[in-house]
Amino acid sequence: MKLNYYVLWVEDDDSWYSTTSQLFTDTILDYGFYPILDRKKNLEDVINEVKKSGLKRFDIFLIDFNLRNSKNGDSIIDHVRNNNIFTDIIFYSSDKQTIVDSIKEHLFEGVYYSDRNELEDKFENVFLTTIKKIEEINSMRGLIVGETSELDAIIEEHLIFYTQSPFIDKFNTSKFLTEKLFNKLDDKIIYLKNEYSTTGLNGILPYLEAIKKWELLRGILKVNKDHKPYISEFLDLNSKYQNDVIDIRNKFAHAQVFTKDDGKEVLKALVGDNHFEFDEDSFKKIREDLIKHRNALLKLKE
Protein backbone atom coordinates (compact mmCIF):
# COMPACT_ATOMS: atom_id res chain seq x y z
CA MET A 1 0.00 0.00 0.00
CA LYS A 2 1.21 3.48 -0.77
CA LEU A 3 0.09 7.10 -0.91
CA ASN A 4 1.84 7.73 -4.22
CA TYR A 5 -0.32 6.99 -7.25
CA TYR A 6 1.76 6.25 -10.35
CA VAL A 7 0.51 6.91 -13.88
CA LEU A 8 2.37 5.75 -16.98
CA TRP A 9 1.21 8.05 -19.76
CA VAL A 10 2.11 7.46 -23.40
CA GLU A 11 1.41 10.73 -25.23
CA ASP A 12 3.58 12.42 -27.86
CA ASP A 13 1.67 15.69 -28.19
CA ASP A 14 3.47 18.16 -25.89
CA SER A 15 0.73 20.77 -26.01
CA TRP A 16 -2.11 18.38 -25.22
CA TYR A 17 -0.15 16.72 -22.44
CA SER A 18 0.68 20.03 -20.75
CA THR A 19 -2.92 21.23 -20.84
CA THR A 20 -4.50 17.99 -19.60
CA SER A 21 -1.99 16.56 -17.11
CA GLN A 22 -3.08 19.04 -14.43
CA LEU A 23 -6.66 17.73 -14.65
CA PHE A 24 -5.58 14.20 -13.77
CA THR A 25 -3.19 15.48 -11.12
CA ASP A 26 -6.06 17.37 -9.48
CA THR A 27 -8.31 14.30 -9.57
CA ILE A 28 -5.72 12.15 -7.80
CA LEU A 29 -5.07 14.85 -5.20
CA ASP A 30 -8.82 15.28 -4.60
CA TYR A 31 -9.00 11.68 -3.38
CA GLY A 32 -6.07 11.98 -0.99
CA PHE A 33 -3.27 10.46 -3.06
CA TYR A 34 -0.04 11.96 -4.33
CA PRO A 35 0.17 11.89 -8.15
CA ILE A 36 3.35 10.87 -9.98
CA LEU A 37 2.98 11.05 -13.76
CA ASP A 38 5.67 9.37 -15.86
CA ARG A 39 5.34 10.36 -19.50
CA LYS A 40 6.59 8.30 -22.42
CA LYS A 41 6.37 9.36 -26.07
CA ASN A 42 6.64 6.13 -28.05
CA LEU A 43 6.86 2.36 -28.03
CA GLU A 44 10.63 2.40 -27.63
CA ASP A 45 10.33 4.42 -24.39
CA VAL A 46 7.84 1.90 -23.02
CA ILE A 47 10.03 -1.07 -24.04
CA ASN A 48 12.97 0.50 -22.18
CA GLU A 49 10.82 1.05 -19.08
CA VAL A 50 9.61 -2.57 -19.19
CA LYS A 51 13.24 -3.72 -19.28
CA LYS A 52 14.15 -1.35 -16.47
CA SER A 53 11.32 -1.86 -13.99
CA GLY A 54 8.73 -4.22 -15.45
CA LEU A 55 6.25 -1.35 -14.96
CA LYS A 56 5.56 -2.79 -11.49
CA ARG A 57 5.18 0.55 -9.72
CA PHE A 58 2.42 1.91 -11.97
CA ASP A 59 -1.22 1.89 -10.93
CA ILE A 60 -2.72 2.77 -14.31
CA PHE A 61 -1.65 3.32 -17.92
CA LEU A 62 -2.91 6.06 -20.24
CA ILE A 63 -2.13 5.37 -23.91
CA ASP A 64 -2.83 7.55 -26.94
CA PHE A 65 -3.96 5.39 -29.84
CA ASN A 66 -2.69 7.71 -32.59
CA LEU A 67 0.97 8.31 -31.85
CA ARG A 68 2.85 10.38 -34.37
CA ASN A 69 6.34 9.24 -35.42
CA SER A 70 5.69 5.87 -33.78
CA LYS A 71 3.57 2.76 -34.08
CA ASN A 72 -0.03 3.04 -32.93
CA GLY A 73 -0.89 2.57 -29.27
CA ASP A 74 -2.16 -0.97 -29.86
CA SER A 75 1.46 -2.02 -30.44
CA ILE A 76 2.28 -0.72 -26.96
CA ILE A 77 -0.59 -2.65 -25.39
CA ASP A 78 0.50 -5.77 -27.26
CA HIS A 79 4.01 -5.40 -25.85
CA VAL A 80 2.76 -4.76 -22.30
CA ARG A 81 0.35 -7.71 -22.26
CA ASN A 82 2.90 -10.03 -23.89
CA ASN A 83 5.16 -9.28 -20.90
CA ASN A 84 2.41 -10.43 -18.51
CA ILE A 85 1.68 -6.93 -17.26
CA PHE A 86 -2.05 -6.64 -16.57
CA THR A 87 -2.37 -3.16 -15.08
CA ASP A 88 -5.56 -1.36 -16.11
CA ILE A 89 -5.19 0.67 -19.32
CA ILE A 90 -7.18 3.60 -20.66
CA PHE A 91 -6.85 3.75 -24.45
CA TYR A 92 -7.96 7.06 -25.97
CA SER A 93 -8.32 8.72 -29.36
CA SER A 94 -10.31 11.43 -31.12
CA ASP A 95 -11.89 8.58 -33.08
CA LYS A 96 -13.22 6.21 -30.43
CA GLN A 97 -14.44 3.65 -32.99
CA THR A 98 -10.87 2.93 -34.09
CA ILE A 99 -10.07 1.94 -30.52
CA VAL A 100 -13.13 -0.32 -30.29
CA ASP A 101 -12.12 -2.04 -33.52
CA SER A 102 -8.53 -2.46 -32.32
CA ILE A 103 -9.61 -3.95 -28.97
CA LYS A 104 -11.83 -6.46 -30.81
CA GLU A 105 -9.05 -7.34 -33.25
CA HIS A 106 -6.37 -7.86 -30.59
CA LEU A 107 -8.71 -9.31 -27.92
CA PHE A 108 -7.24 -7.00 -25.29
CA GLU A 109 -8.27 -7.58 -21.66
CA GLY A 110 -8.47 -4.96 -18.91
CA VAL A 111 -8.51 -2.11 -21.43
CA TYR A 112 -10.89 0.83 -21.18
CA TYR A 113 -11.39 3.20 -24.07
CA SER A 114 -12.35 6.85 -24.35
CA ASP A 115 -12.73 9.76 -26.69
CA ARG A 116 -10.25 12.54 -25.91
CA ASN A 117 -13.11 14.83 -24.92
CA GLU A 118 -14.39 12.29 -22.39
CA LEU A 119 -11.02 11.26 -21.03
CA GLU A 120 -11.18 13.28 -17.79
CA ASP A 121 -14.42 11.58 -16.68
CA LYS A 122 -13.22 8.17 -17.85
CA PHE A 123 -9.97 8.55 -15.93
CA GLU A 124 -11.80 9.43 -12.71
CA ASN A 125 -14.12 6.43 -13.04
CA VAL A 126 -11.30 3.97 -13.69
CA PHE A 127 -9.13 5.59 -11.02
CA LEU A 128 -11.88 5.01 -8.46
CA THR A 129 -12.01 1.31 -9.34
CA THR A 130 -8.24 1.00 -8.84
CA ILE A 131 -8.37 2.49 -5.34
CA LYS A 132 -11.47 0.59 -4.24
CA LYS A 133 -9.47 -2.08 -2.43
CA ILE A 134 -7.41 0.58 -0.67
CA GLU A 135 -10.63 2.01 0.80
CA GLU A 136 -11.27 -1.22 2.71
CA ILE A 137 -10.31 -1.12 6.38
CA ASN A 138 -7.65 -3.83 6.30
CA SER A 139 -6.02 -2.25 3.24
CA MET A 140 -6.07 1.16 4.91
CA ARG A 141 -4.52 -0.42 7.99
CA GLY A 142 -1.61 -1.64 5.85
CA LEU A 143 -1.26 1.74 4.14
CA ILE A 144 -1.28 3.69 7.40
CA VAL A 145 1.14 1.41 9.24
CA GLY A 146 3.50 1.40 6.26
CA GLU A 147 3.41 5.15 5.66
CA THR A 148 3.71 6.10 9.33
CA SER A 149 6.71 3.78 9.68
CA GLU A 150 8.34 5.74 6.86
CA LEU A 151 7.56 8.99 8.67
CA ASP A 152 9.18 7.56 11.81
CA ALA A 153 12.29 6.84 9.78
CA ILE A 154 12.40 10.39 8.38
CA ILE A 155 12.04 11.85 11.89
CA GLU A 156 14.88 9.63 13.13
CA GLU A 157 16.99 10.74 10.16
CA HIS A 158 16.38 14.37 11.16
CA LEU A 159 17.31 13.60 14.76
CA ILE A 160 20.59 11.97 13.74
CA PHE A 161 21.41 15.10 11.73
CA TYR A 162 20.37 17.66 14.35
CA THR A 163 21.96 15.85 17.29
CA GLN A 164 25.29 15.96 15.45
CA SER A 165 25.02 19.65 14.62
CA PRO A 166 25.25 22.90 16.63
CA PHE A 167 21.45 22.71 16.98
CA ILE A 168 21.86 20.31 19.89
CA ASP A 169 23.97 22.81 21.87
CA LYS A 170 20.91 24.98 22.56
CA PHE A 171 18.79 22.05 23.69
CA ASN A 172 18.81 20.57 27.20
CA THR A 173 19.04 16.90 26.24
CA SER A 174 19.55 15.58 29.76
CA LYS A 175 16.46 17.42 31.02
CA PHE A 176 14.36 16.07 28.16
CA LEU A 177 15.47 12.46 28.71
CA THR A 178 15.00 12.68 32.47
CA GLU A 179 11.45 14.01 32.12
CA LYS A 180 10.39 11.88 29.17
CA LEU A 181 12.32 8.65 29.64
CA PHE A 182 14.46 8.25 32.76
CA ASN A 183 11.64 8.73 35.22
CA LYS A 184 11.18 5.06 36.10
CA LEU A 185 13.58 2.67 37.80
CA ASP A 186 13.37 -0.63 35.99
CA ASP A 187 15.79 -2.78 34.04
CA LYS A 188 15.06 -1.17 30.68
CA ILE A 189 15.54 2.36 32.00
CA ILE A 190 18.78 1.39 33.74
CA TYR A 191 19.98 -0.10 30.47
CA LEU A 192 19.03 3.03 28.52
CA LYS A 193 20.75 5.30 31.03
CA ASN A 194 23.93 3.27 30.73
CA GLU A 195 23.66 3.29 26.93
CA TYR A 196 23.18 7.06 26.92
CA SER A 197 26.16 7.64 29.16
CA THR A 198 28.29 5.42 26.91
CA THR A 199 27.14 6.16 23.34
CA GLY A 200 25.19 9.39 23.70
CA LEU A 201 21.79 10.29 22.33
CA ASN A 202 22.17 8.51 19.00
CA GLY A 203 22.77 5.25 20.83
CA ILE A 204 19.29 5.23 22.33
CA LEU A 205 17.33 6.71 19.41
CA PRO A 206 16.24 3.24 18.22
CA TYR A 207 14.68 2.60 21.64
CA LEU A 208 12.58 5.77 21.74
CA GLU A 209 8.86 5.52 21.02
CA ALA A 210 7.58 7.42 17.98
CA ILE A 211 5.99 10.09 20.13
CA LYS A 212 9.25 10.64 22.06
CA LYS A 213 11.19 11.05 18.81
CA TRP A 214 8.61 13.55 17.62
CA GLU A 215 8.78 15.51 20.89
CA LEU A 216 12.59 15.45 20.80
CA LEU A 217 12.72 16.77 17.23
CA ARG A 218 10.24 19.56 18.02
CA GLY A 219 12.17 20.46 21.17
CA ILE A 220 15.44 20.83 19.27
CA LEU A 221 13.81 22.87 16.51
CA LYS A 222 11.97 25.21 18.89
CA VAL A 223 15.21 26.49 20.40
CA ASN A 224 16.72 26.87 16.92
CA LYS A 225 13.91 28.72 15.13
CA ASP A 226 16.24 31.54 14.14
CA HIS A 227 18.50 29.15 12.19
CA LYS A 228 16.34 29.11 9.07
CA PRO A 229 12.90 30.56 8.26
CA TYR A 230 11.19 27.25 7.44
CA ILE A 231 11.55 25.89 10.99
CA SER A 232 8.72 28.06 12.32
CA GLU A 233 6.50 27.06 9.40
CA PHE A 234 7.36 23.40 9.96
CA LEU A 235 6.55 23.58 13.68
CA ASP A 236 3.15 25.01 12.81
CA LEU A 237 2.42 22.39 10.12
CA ASN A 238 3.70 19.61 12.35
CA SER A 239 1.85 20.66 15.51
CA LYS A 240 -0.97 18.10 14.98
CA TYR A 241 1.35 15.22 14.10
CA GLN A 242 0.37 13.23 17.18
CA ASN A 243 -3.34 13.42 16.34
CA ASP A 244 -2.95 13.09 12.57
CA VAL A 245 -0.33 10.32 12.48
CA ILE A 246 0.56 8.63 15.77
CA ASP A 247 -2.97 8.36 17.18
CA ILE A 248 -4.38 7.24 13.83
CA ARG A 249 -1.75 4.53 13.50
CA ASN A 250 -2.48 3.30 17.03
CA LYS A 251 -6.20 3.10 16.29
CA PHE A 252 -5.62 1.00 13.19
CA ALA A 253 -2.81 -1.11 14.62
CA HIS A 254 -4.44 -1.95 17.94
CA ALA A 255 -8.00 -2.70 16.91
CA GLN A 256 -10.07 -5.41 15.30
CA VAL A 257 -12.35 -5.15 12.29
CA PHE A 258 -15.95 -5.60 13.43
CA THR A 259 -18.97 -5.96 11.11
CA LYS A 260 -22.15 -4.32 12.36
CA ASP A 261 -25.65 -5.68 11.78
CA ASP A 262 -26.09 -3.39 8.77
CA GLY A 263 -22.92 -4.83 7.18
CA LYS A 264 -20.79 -1.75 7.81
CA GLU A 265 -17.24 -2.43 8.98
CA VAL A 266 -15.87 -0.53 11.99
CA LEU A 267 -12.69 -0.75 13.99
CA LYS A 268 -13.30 -1.98 17.53
CA ALA A 269 -10.76 -1.19 20.23
CA LEU A 270 -9.13 -4.21 21.83
CA VAL A 271 -9.45 -2.59 25.24
CA GLY A 272 -12.46 -0.57 26.41
CA ASP A 273 -15.64 0.27 24.56
CA ASN A 274 -14.35 2.78 22.02
CA HIS A 275 -15.27 2.29 18.38
CA PHE A 276 -13.50 4.01 15.55
CA GLU A 277 -15.75 4.27 12.53
CA PHE A 278 -14.20 5.30 9.23
CA ASP A 279 -15.75 5.94 5.83
CA GLU A 280 -14.41 7.12 2.48
CA ASP A 281 -14.30 10.77 3.59
CA SER A 282 -12.31 9.97 6.72
CA PHE A 283 -9.94 7.72 4.72
CA LYS A 284 -9.38 10.61 2.33
CA LYS A 285 -8.65 12.96 5.26
CA ILE A 286 -6.16 10.46 6.72
CA ARG A 287 -4.31 10.16 3.41
CA GLU A 288 -4.22 13.94 2.98
CA ASP A 289 -2.80 14.36 6.49
CA LEU A 290 -0.12 11.74 5.88
CA ILE A 291 0.91 13.46 2.65
CA LYS A 292 0.94 16.86 4.38
CA HIS A 293 3.24 15.66 7.17
CA ARG A 294 5.49 13.71 4.80
CA ASN A 295 5.94 16.77 2.57
CA ALA A 296 6.71 18.97 5.60
CA LEU A 297 9.35 16.54 6.87
CA LEU A 298 10.93 16.23 3.44
CA LYS A 299 11.02 20.00 3.00
CA LEU A 300 12.77 20.28 6.36
CA LYS A 301 15.60 18.22 4.87
CA GLU A 302 16.21 20.75 2.09
pLDDT single digits (tens) 9-48: 988 888 889 888 999 999 999 999 999 999 998 888 888 8
Residues with pLDDT less than 70, the chain? 1, 68-73, 103, 105-108, 183-187, 269-275
Which pLDDT does position 302 carry in this prediction? 84
Which pLDDT does position 232 carry in this prediction? 94
Which pLDDT does position 265 carry in this prediction? 72
Cβ neighbours of residue 216 closer than 8 Å, sequence gap 6 or more: 159, 176, 180, 208
Which pLDDT does position 172 carry in this prediction? 92
Which pLDDT does position 71 carry in this prediction? 63
Which pLDDT does position 152 carry in this prediction? 92
Which pLDDT does position 130 carry in this prediction? 87
**All domains in the chain, ordered by first residue:** 4-131 (3.40.50.2300), 135-300 (no CATH)
